Structure 1
Amino acid sequence: MYDHAAFAEDTSNLFKREAAIYEALGSHPCILKCIGVELMPDGEEDWALRLERAPHGNLREYIGKNESPTMTRRLQVAIDFTEVLQYIHDRGVIWGNVSPRNVLVFDDLHIKLCDFAGSTLKGKFPELLFTCEPCCWVSGPEGDSILRSMLEKELFALGTAICEITGWAVPYGPIEIEERQQKLMDGEYPYIGDSNPVKDVIKKLWNFEYSSAQEVVEALRTALVDT
């Protein structure tokens, strides 16, 4: 039997968790603004978050519907994305949802990150409820998976996000998330054009050669200057 009360409690707990993470993150120009919470009719439980509206949907949809901007503009979007990811990490949060589908687009291709319901918060929510897209799984010599930290997985997923933004195409094309994850598990990484000025940055992220998003920001800025 469907338990409406249990579902409502679980939903309320998720919103409380996300509200706490938004509070920890504070105000940032590239994080969606949390205006407040909506209460259940009895006024005692959080039911929903009131968030600002994004006029142009999420970045993945935007990429699919719009012509590619200049590489300079794409690189700036990738820098904005990576800078705010470092800000999130500095606040003790692991997003766990690194994907352009969780980035909202405003006028002039200004982006804001959203969806922190499954994120971690140091000292309060130690475990991710959801995983990065695409999930990180690295095969060992005999096919055994290597355990990676949440931060390492986050940076791996950042590489795929930067690939999508700078290439202005969804990795692997219009396939299901599960298929995308399977391709990564098989060692089949997304295509990166030879003309992509940050192809080496992306590959280094996939090879776990960066220890922070800030290092990636600096590499992207160098590429922007050289473009």
Structure 2
Amino acid sequence: MLIPAIKEDVRFAKGRFLDSGASGILEILPCGNVMKSPWPGQSGMDSRRDITIENEIYKKLGRHPRLITILGWNLQDCALTMEYMPNGNLQAFLIRNNTVAESQRLQWVQEAAEGVQLLHDADVLHCDINPKNLLLDAHLSLKIADFGGSSLAGSEPSACSGKRFSIPDKCWRDPPTVQDDLFALGTTIYFIMTSQLPFPGFSEDAVEESYRNHKFPEVSQIVCGRFIKRCWSSQIASAQEIYDFIRSIA
């Protein structure tokens, strides 16, 4: 994998700032598309690697309804151009719109499971599945995003999930597994269905301790609660099972 060399320590804005993270800076271009570019200088070498991995993952996956459309790759600048998601990320959307119908929530659960299965079928582990990395287009269709920290064909990831999304006592140095992604998917589905994260009043350490003692939020009244529970107990083989269940009751 060719990682573009660092050219300069100074970075000039390419558009209106949208967001940023460890893997780079997101800006809305004058044309309305979004560009993801690396942090400048030597400190940005890791973000250049991450964006290069992300581009490789998008190339491997190809176009799919559960993915953002990639519109361009600038090797020299190590920059990805992609379509804009006008409804932002799922976490922010549900915090703003807590009265979303159950049918819409179940559609998002199905789409999230479809996206995760798409990755796993292509030997990609996301390594940071959470509602902030699920984006909504103009029609509220869900897209799984942000592969900068992901693992492709066994490569070492640079991302790891927060404790609410992680198997308890999981060491960040351990190689990622499908079960890690499925555990995180379980927490994400819980959020989709309830508009809150597990144990919202707890610190992350307290949440991890609860998980370690096999204490999880009550899910028996949630339509897909048994699948959330199976994700949390590592008793589910694939995201396809969740997709098939939601499809069967739609």
Which of the five TM-score ranges fits, normalised by the shorter chain? 0.7 to 0.9
Q: Which residue is equivalent to 1:29?
A: 65
**2 CA distance for matches of 1:110 and 1:31?**
10
Matched, 1:166 2:193: yes
Native 8 Å contact 2:117 2:238 kept in 1: yes
SS in structure 2 at match of 1:57: coil
TM-score calculated relative to the size of structure 2: 0.73
Distance 2:187 2:145 in 1: 18
Question: Contact (CA 8 Å) 2:50, 2:158: kept in 1 or not?
Answer: no
How far has the Cα of 1:95 moved from its partner? 0.9
CA deviation profile, 1:174-221 (whole Å, cap 9, x unmatched): 7776665454345442343x4311111111111111111112222233
Inter-partner Cα distance in structure 1 for 2:74 and 2:138: 27
Change over 3 Å in CA distance of 1:135–1:91 after alignment to 2: same
Q: How does 1:32-111 map to 2 (within 5 A)?
A: 32-38=68-74, 44-46=76-78, 48-111=79-142
The question of 1:215 aligning with 2:246 is answered no
Structure 1: runs of 5+ lacking an equivalent: 140-146
Is structure 2 residue 45 aligned with structure 1 residue 9? yes
Q: Which residue number in structure 2 is paired with residue 199 of structure 1?
A: 225
Distance 2:144 2:106 in 1: 17
Residue 216 of structure 1 aligns with an amino acid whose one-letter code is I
Asked if residue 18 in structure 1 is aligned to residue 45 in structure 2, the reply is no
Quote the residue 2:36 is aligned against.
none
Amino acid at match of 2:193: T
Q: Deviations over 1:37-80 (max 9, x none)?
A: 346xxxx451x321211111110001100033221221111001
User: What does residue range 77-156 of structure 1 map to in structure 2 within 5 Å?
Assistant: 77-122=108-153, 125-133=154-162, 134-137=165-168, 150-156=177-183
Q: TM-score, length-normalised on structure 1?
A: 0.80
CA RMSD of aligned residues (A): 2.6
Alpha-carbon distance between aligned partners in 1 of 2:193 and 2:161, rounded to the nearest angstrom? 19
Would you say the 8 A contact 1:159–1:203 is kept in 2?
yes
CA contact (8 A) 1:56 1:106 kept: yes
Aligned mates of 1:148, 1:121 — CA distance in 2 = 12
**How many pairs does the alignment contain?**
207
**In the superposition, relative to structure 1, how do residues 75 and 128 fare at CA in structure 2: closer, same or farther (>3 Å)?**
same
Task: Output the CA distance in 2 between the equivalents of 1:73 and 1:37.
Answer: 33
SS at match of 2:107: helix
Matched to 1:65, the amino acid is: R
- Distance in 1 between residues matched to 2:176 and 2:54, nearest whole Å: 22
Identity rate of aligned residues, in percent? 27
**Offset from partner CA, 1:73-111 (integer Å, 9 cap, x none):** 211110011012111111111111111110111223211
For 2:209 and 2:80, how far apart are their aligned partners in 1?
34
